Amino acid sequence: MIALNPECRYFLYRSPININKSFYSLASIAREQMKVDPLSLAVFIFLNNNRNQLKLLVWQGDGFAIFHKRLEEGTFELPPFLHDQTHVVISYSQLILILQGISLEKVHYRKRYNQKNASTLTSR
């Protein structure tokens, strides 16, 4: 079972992949093209060319796990990328919105406490 939580880092790969790629091929993309250790506390997100299939790759301490979702209708929305980015880091919330088919452009985030921002403010 893949456990997703806000503490993980989520890396969305920009280029479409052959959705038949498996554990070590996806881990190789993470290591070589995204420059991120696939054995870290991270979730790697890959989409096919039609953006109707998505794979999540995560290291679970004793092996890799893959979650594969195929849409019967529609596509997955992607956040904007800069020209030279191979990947983008997204939040847990953004991943859930993508999986649920909710438009990322129309979402309005309300202000919430964030421990990272609070520690920055107190260190000044």
Q: What is the pLDDT of residues 34-92, one digit of tens each?
A: 999 999 889 999 999 999 999 999 999 899 999 999 999 999 988 887 778 889 999 89
On whether the pTM is more than 0.95, the answer is no
Q: Is residue 102 a part of any domain in this protein?
A: yes
Structural domain containing residue 47? 9-122
Do the domain assignments include residue 17?
yes
61 occurs within a structural domain: yes
Burial class (CB in 10 A: 0-12, 13-18, 19+), 117: exposed
Domain count, the chain: 1
CB 39 within 8 A of CB 63: no
DSSP 8-state symbol, 48: -
Q: Does 2 reside within a domain?
A: no
Query: Is 1 inside any structural domain?
Result: no
